[in-house]
């Protein structure tokens, strides 16, 4: 490998005719980094932006933000949009309850607070037991999770600062109302699982290097048991693998308290292992049984009847099924099918009150079906609209199942289902300051480049139709990691619809809408299919007369940010504006930071020549470096505390795009302070960000 380093700099000045005034982009230093890899000469002039503590970078961010915010503040409708967002955010949000003892615990926000609080309900009396809004003045310290103990006396909760994935766990005694001295640090990609009221299991990484907690690579996850009243350095190490640095672990106590289930994962690969140990004589780290020892399929533990373990799996079932494994005789020939695979995609199953509740996706829309433990069909719980079920909550001996249901135009409603009575009722419902009946949702299908049939949702005010006019339209996509994109409520969507726009969501390959093959068709060497699916969704909206190129805005987050970066560098003239958020944009170095190595299962390994060539062919950063084009107006979003997709991806892409822009369309980057990848972002920051996004789209797209 050859490398040459020298220092140069440049300033880019463009007159943005039509957008009000001349923009002078900040001076962006370049470092001449040239590498030769697999015979390809690679330039990386903005690699210096990977040093997040660099004084030069901090100065660059400050100047870029000043430019971006001065541009955004002058846009039409901005104050009107912000005012309406604030009004609509004042709806009641209820999380799905968890029952422990005679107590119910759930999150709640009346819309006036930056962070939701945790409420405990007992004997019809409700009181706030955790209020994250008191933890910081700016609302950037958030509650990542909370888990009540078996009796409901204690509650363990995770704290996140600035949206980081790192968690610090604390414990509250609900009987005394006092915070215990217990403190568990450096927890990531883990919640807790209680063993009675004695203590809890959790997983953590080693503490990162000093000053590198937001960028240091995360390896060597370990499972611990924390006994209440003990210091963390006395926690029992339950399981580790010194020979498998990429393995991660989730530890869960079964409802009957007889077993500890250890799910072993490797990055974002859906295939996993399952180990267990008996808890009959306490925690014994020396008696871990490797029940499923090979990374061949996905196995999600549902529950158990003593030594019969139930799993949701894609073993011999592309769209998943439920199987039973008797751990007394666990050979595969003795595994029993309980719920067979169907034409719909089985995404979640819980075991409550002696019944299985199965959440299916039928063309990316939820339906809930009840089965007996022998797999016999009992009923479908009808919810009557096009939406999404999530948060199925309940335990083996409970008589109550809770879940949330939402749609594009309806905030989450929390439902309670009484198993013994087969009765459904609303546990909590928000009061709204808009009328959902004023809007309509249409699901259509279109053909992608290779002829694959792709679903697309289109949302707007009642009466919209194809060919009726050119609506300002926002198209959203994701397409990765086997994650299904289903109808979800967003305040910003309602504001956009009120402005007369349409909102569209394409269910791209790479997601989890149609099982394993749908995912496989959009990952690794098939990743271009995802971009083609999105491009053809845009062409469908234009061809059917919903919009035109100049009136079509596109957006996506994280892997969806990669999607937006890829399509604007491949087909820039197809789109009227673009907002890639917290995106993976340098596809040759994503694996070198924090948890980036875990994405190799979806993207491929840049250190392997065959994968490298595919990644290089679409890497948005490298295409922007090489190709001077007229890119659409683009607002790149990132955050300084994002330790999942480090912000250097967005910094480098913005610098490259600004340099390669040959027309007057603005290329801007918005860097949020004390915020992360998205989770835990305070409401006030969400409103500010949504104001900027909607204002940008409203002004950049052609029609007013």
CA distance readout (Å), 614 to 38, 477, 617, 648: 12, 21, 5, 22
Evaluate whether 63 touches 35 at the Cβ level (below 8 Å).
no
Residue 418: both structure tokens together: 């009484």
Q: What three-state secondary structure class fits 618?
A: helix
Pick from 604, 518, 559, 526: nearest CA to 320: 518
Contact predicate 373/363, CB 8 Å = no
Phi and psi at 249, nearest 5°, equal: -135, 140
Contact status, residue 495 vs residue 85, Cβ threshold 8 Å: yes
Q: Which of 510, 485, 508, 505 is nearest to 599 (CA)?
A: 510
Spot the catalytic one: 221, 407, 677, 695.
677
Please tell me the distance from the alpha carbon of residue 569 to that of residue 561, in angstroms, as a whole number: 12
Calpha distance 248→219 (Å, rounded): 8
- Which is catalytic among the residues 203, 558, 601, 648? 558
Q: How far apart are CA 391 and CA 555, in angstroms?
A: 26
Q: Are 674 and 163 in contact (CB under 8 A)?
A: yes
As beta bridge partners, residue 466 has none
551, 702 contact by CB (below 8 A): yes
Rg of the chain over Cα atoms, rounded to whole angstroms, equals 25
- 555 contacts: CB under 8 Å, gap ≥ 6: 474, 475, 476, 564, 578, 579, 580, 581, 693
CA distances from 610 to 39, 524, 600 (A): 12, 10, 13
CA 538, 541, 543, 546 torsion: positive or negative? negative
Catalytic residue check, 226: no
By the 10 Å C-beta count (0-12 exposed, 13-18 middle, 19+ buried), 8 is classed as: exposed
Q: Which residues, at least 6 apart from 576, have a Cβ–Cβ distance to it below 8 Å? A: 549, 550, 551, 552, 553, 632, 633, 700, 701, 702
Report d(CA 262, CA 227) in Å as an integer.
18
Q: How far apart are CA 505 and CA 388, in angstroms?
A: 14
Query: Is 190 labeled as catalytic in the residue annotation?
Result: no
Question: What backbone phi and psi angles, to 5 degrees, belong to 608?
Answer: -105, 130
344 and 466 in contact (C-beta within 8 Å)? no
Q: Which residues are catalytic?
A: 558, 677
């Amino acid at each position: 490998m050859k490398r040459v380093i020298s220092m140069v700099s440049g300033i880019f000045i463009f007159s943005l005719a039509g957008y009000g005034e001349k923009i002078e982009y900040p001076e962006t230093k370049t470092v001449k980094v040239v590498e030769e890899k697999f015979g390809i000469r690679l330039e990386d002039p903005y690699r210096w932006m990977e040093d997040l503590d660099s004084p030069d970078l901090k100065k660059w961010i400050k100047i870029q933000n000043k430019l971006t915010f001065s541009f955004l503040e002058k846009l039409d409708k901005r104050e009107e949009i912000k005012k309406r967002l604030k009004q609509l955010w004042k709806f009641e949000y209820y999380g799905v309850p968890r029952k422990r003892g005679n107590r119910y615990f759930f999150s709640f926000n009346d819309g006036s607070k930056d962070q939701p609080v945790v409420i405990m309900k007992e004997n019809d009396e409700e009181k706030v037991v955790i209020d994250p809004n008191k933890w910081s003045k700016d609302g950037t310290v958030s509650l990542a999770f909370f888990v009540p103990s078996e009796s409901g006396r204690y509650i363990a909760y995770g704290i996140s600062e600035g949206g980081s994935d790192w968690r610090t766990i604390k414990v509250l005694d609900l009987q005394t109302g006092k915070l215990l001295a217990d403190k568990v640090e450096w927890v990531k990609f883990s919640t807790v699982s209680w063993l009675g009221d004695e203590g809890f299991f959790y997983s953590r990484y080693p503490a990162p290097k000093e000053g590198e907690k937001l960028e240091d690579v995360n390896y060597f996850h370990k499972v611990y048991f924390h006994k209440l009243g003990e210091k963390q350095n006395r926690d029992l190490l339950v399981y580790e693998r010194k020979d498998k640095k990429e393995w991660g672990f989730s530890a869960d106590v079964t409802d009957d308290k007889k077993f500890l289930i250890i799910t072993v994962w490797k990055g974002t690969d859906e295939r996993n292992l399952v180990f267990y140990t008996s808890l009959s004589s306490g925690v014994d780290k020396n008696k871990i049984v490797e029940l499923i020892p090979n990374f061949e399929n996905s196995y999600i533990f549902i529950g158990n009847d003593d030594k019969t373990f139930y799993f949701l799996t894609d073993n011999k079932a592309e769209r998943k099924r439920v199987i039973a494994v008797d751990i007394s005789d666990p050979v595969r020939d003795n595994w029993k099918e309980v719920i067979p695979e169907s034409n719909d995609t089985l995404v979640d199953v819980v075991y409550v009150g002696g019944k299985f509740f199965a959440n299916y996706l039928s063309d990316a829309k939820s339906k809930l079906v009840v089965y007996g433990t022998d797999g016999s069909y009992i009923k479908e719980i009808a919810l009557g609209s096009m939406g999404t079920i999530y948060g199925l909550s309940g335990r083996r001996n409970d008589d109550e199942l809770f879940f949330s249901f939402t749609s594009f135009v309806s905030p989450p409603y929390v439902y309670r289902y009484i198993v013994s009575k087969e009765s459904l009722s609303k546990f909590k419902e928000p009061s709204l300051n808009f009328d959902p009946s004023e809007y309509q949702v249409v699901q259509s299908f279109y053909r992608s480049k290779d002829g694959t049939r792709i679903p697309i949702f289109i949302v707007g005010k009642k009466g919209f139709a194809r060919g009726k006019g050119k609506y300002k339209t926002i198209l959203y996509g994701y397409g990765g990691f086997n994650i299904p994109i289903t109808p979800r409520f967003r305040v910003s969507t309602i504001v956009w619809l009120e402005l007369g726009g349409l909102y569209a969501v394409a269910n791209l390959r790479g997601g989890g809408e149609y099982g394993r093959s749908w995912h496989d068709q959009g990952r690794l060497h098939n990743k271009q299919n995802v971009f083609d699916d999105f491009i053809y969704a845009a062409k469908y909206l234009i061809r059917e007369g919903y919009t035109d190129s100049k009136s079509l805005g596109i957006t996506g987050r994280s892997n969806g940010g990669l999607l937006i970066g890829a399509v604007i560098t491949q087909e820039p003239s197809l789109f009227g504006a673009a907002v890639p958020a917290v995106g993976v944009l340098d596809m040759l170095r994503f694996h070198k930071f924090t948890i980036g190595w875990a994405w190799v299962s979806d993207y491929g390994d840049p250190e392997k020549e065959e994968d490298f060539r595919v990644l290089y062919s679409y890497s948005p950063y490298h295409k922007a470096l090489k190709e001077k084009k007229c890119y659409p107006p683009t607002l790149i979003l990132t955050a300084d505390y994002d330790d999942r997709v480090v912000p250097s991806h967005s910094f480098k892409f913005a610098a490259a795009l600004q340099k390669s822009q040959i027309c007057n369309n603005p290329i801007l980057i918005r860097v949020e302070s004390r915020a992360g990848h998205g989770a835990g972002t305070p409401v006030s920051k969400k409103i500010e960000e949504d104001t900027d996004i909607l204002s940008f789209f409203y002004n950049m797209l052609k029609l007013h």
